[in-house]
């Protein structure tokens, strides 16, 4: 049985641990409650840039040293930046947990941001931005966020733009890093650990390794966004039209999230979903079609993605909206029961590994300020009734609130009736 504990270090850092006695690995994550939505327009992409730079050398390790040490024990060292948080993490065998903590603390506290390495990594990030721009089935999701959260940093691309990343100076990067990750980190930086290691042992290691962090006043958080409605068409010479069609939803902490999980599963959450069956299996109009939820601390969106031909674009959009209408009328008992088992099964299977457990601890802390147990989640999913699903479908799947973004050989005349490009 797993045991979850929380400790507050002398430095003010919160450490949340989950002991998994039968697990051979340990996953350690250093989390910062700061992401792309906290950046000013000229800083767009700076959090993601910092994520890259923390692997480029410290006062005692070169970038090659960092890679060799972690890979020399078969471990993984990585990081990611989202709109609301940034994470630097390691996954190693239990016996190598001390090494992983030492490396994580070293890159977080002692990175040099060497000017030569910074310029090299700037080029890498610029290539990443170009890669996304050249991949329409990735780019369309960024453009959808930019349009539904228009005028709010929540909609800005996590990786930034060529203009913003290209103009950032070393002083800009260092200043932001110190404000957001070091001196401005009261309650903003915390650490989660999951795996087959003892709680007291790992907390002692972390307390020693991260004692150099200082208290400070946390910078203000970004304002809540107001969703926008409308259609944006981007013409490109592509074989397919890639589209994202979605609507705003409740936020991650909202009690209705469990209803949304089930609604999304039924709509487009797998091969048995309504959209997959109707658009791909029955009609062959798309190879890829699915829906997903992007729930944040004060906002959310349910989005449908599809890639289809120019001739089938209007039909696919109409079919998506038609399925929304059907869901607003309700679902059958068997379909709801199946969706519940799919959501619960996917969650339980996903939590078998130490890194997924470590991530769950962090997301619980970010969005709820407490541990949300698996038993609590299962109980809440099972409690959703047919009437609850109908209610959330009516509230969410509203044609008047649609945002649609499409990339390809698309024109205003390809839009279904009732949707007009701005």
Residue 341 has pLDDT above 50, yes or no: yes
- How far apart (Å, rounded) are the C-alpha atoms in residues 213 and 299? 31
The single residue listed with the structure tokens 């993605």 is 305
Instruction: Report pLDDT digits (tens) over 182-201.
Output: 865 556 899 999 999 999 99
**Ranges 7-11, 99-103, 302-306, 326-330: which has the least confidence:** 7-11
Share of the chain above pLDDT 90, in %: 90
CA distance 218 to 224: 18
Give the predicted TM-score (pTM) of the model: 0.94
What are the tens digits of pLDDT across the range 361-405?
A: 999 999 999 999 999 999 999 999 999 999 999 999 999 999 999
Confidence (pLDDT) at 242: 98
Tokens of 309: 């031909």
The pLDDT mean for the chain works out to 94
Q: Is the dihedral of CA 42, 44, 49, 54 positive or negative?
A: positive
CB 304 within 8 A of CB 267: yes
Q: Which whole-number Å values give the CA distances from 408 to 221, 336, 397, 405, 422, in the listed order? A: 36, 36, 26, 10, 17
14-56 pLDDT, tens digit each: 999 999 999 999 999 999 999 999 999 999 999 999 999 999 9
Is 239's pLDDT higher than 80?
A: yes
Angstrom distance (rounded) from CA 287 to CA 108: 42
Backbone angles phi, psi at 358, to 5 degrees: -60, -40
- Residues identified as active-site: 51
Question: Per-residue pLDDT tens for 121-171?
Answer: 999 999 999 999 999 999 999 999 999 999 999 999 999 999 999 999 999
Task: Name the H helices within 179-247.
Answer: 199-209
Q: How far apart are CA 420 and CA 336, in angstroms?
A: 34
The stretch 296-304 carries a mean pLDDT of 97
**Is a pLDDT exceeding 80 seen at residue 220?**
no
Evaluate if residue 108 carries a pLDDT over 90: yes
pLDDT bracket for residue 12 (50, 70, 90): confident
Mean pLDDT value of segment 68-86: 98
Domains by residue range for the chain, with CATH: 3-209 (3.30.830.10), 230-414 (3.30.830.10)
pLDDT value at position 186? 56
Say what the pLDDT of residue 10 is.
Answer: 82
* Residue 144 pLDDT: 98
Instruction: Using pLDDT thresholds of 50, 70 and 90, give the confidence band for residue 1.
Output: very low
> What pLDDT, on the 0 to 100 scale, is given for residue 219?
62
Contacts of residue 218, Cβ cutoff 8 Å, sequence gap at least 6: 184, 185, 186, 187, 188
Count the neighbouring beta carbons within 10 Å of the beta carbon of residue 88: 24
**R_g of the chain computed on alpha carbons:** 23
Cα–Cα distances (Å) from 8 to 97, 187, 192, in that order, read 20, 10, 12
Q: Residue 412, SS3?
A: helix
Q: Which two tokens stand for residue 8?
A: 């507050």
């Amino acid at each position: 049985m797993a045991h979850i504990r929380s400790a507050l270090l002398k430095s003010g850092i919160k450490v949340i641990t989950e002991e998994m006695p039968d697990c051979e690995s340990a996953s350690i994550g250093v989390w910062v409650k700061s992401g792309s939505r906290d950046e000013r327009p000229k800083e767009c992409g700076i959090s993601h840039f910092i994520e890259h730079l923390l692997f480029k050398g410290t006062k005692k390790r070169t970038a090659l040293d960092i890679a060799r040490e972690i890979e020399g024990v078969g471990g993984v060292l990585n990081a990611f930046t989202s709109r609301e948080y940034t994470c630097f993490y390691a996954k190693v065998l239990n016996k190598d947990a001390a090494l992983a903590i030492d490396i994580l603390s070293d890159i977080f506290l002692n990175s040099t941001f060497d000017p030569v390495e910074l310029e090299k990594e700037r080029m890498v990030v610029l290539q990443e931005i170009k890669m996304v721009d050249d991949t329409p089935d990735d780019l369309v999701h960024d453009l959808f966020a930019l349009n539904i959260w228009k005028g709010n940093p929540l909609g800005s691309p996590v990786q930034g733009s060529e203009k913003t990343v290209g103009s950032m100076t070393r002083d800009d990067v260092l200043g932001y890093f110190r404000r957001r990750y070091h001196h401005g980190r009261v309650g903003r930086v915390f650490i989660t650990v999951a795996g087959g290691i003892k709680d007291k042992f790992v907390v002692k290691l972390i307390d020693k390794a991260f004692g150099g962090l200082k208290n400070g006043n946390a910078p203000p958080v970004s304002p809540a966004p107001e969703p926008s409605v409308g259609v944006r068409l981007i013409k490109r010479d592509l074989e397919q039209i890639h589209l994202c069609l979605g609507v705003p939803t409740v936020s991650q902490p909202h009690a209705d999230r469990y209803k949304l999980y089930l609604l999304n599963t039924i709509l487009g959450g797998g091969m048995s979903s309504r959209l997959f069956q109707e658009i791909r299996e029955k009609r062959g109009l798309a190879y890829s079609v699915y829906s997903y939820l992007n729930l944040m601390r004060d906002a959310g969106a349910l989005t449908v993605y599809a890639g289809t031909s120019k001739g089938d674009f209007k039909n696919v959009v109409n079919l998506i909206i038609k399925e929304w209408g059907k869901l607003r009328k309700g679902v059958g008992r068997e379909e709801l029961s199946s969706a519940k088992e799919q959501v619960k099964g996917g969650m339980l299977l996903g939590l078998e590994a130490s890194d997924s457990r470590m991530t769950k601890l962090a997301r619980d802390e970010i969005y709820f300020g407490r541990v949300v147990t698996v038993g609590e989640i299962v109980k809440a999913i099972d409690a959703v009734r047919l009437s609850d699903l109908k209610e959330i479908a009516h509230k969410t799947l509203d044609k008047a609130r649609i945002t649609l973004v499409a990339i390809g050989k698309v024109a205003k005349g390809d839009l279904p009736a009732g949707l007009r490009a701005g």
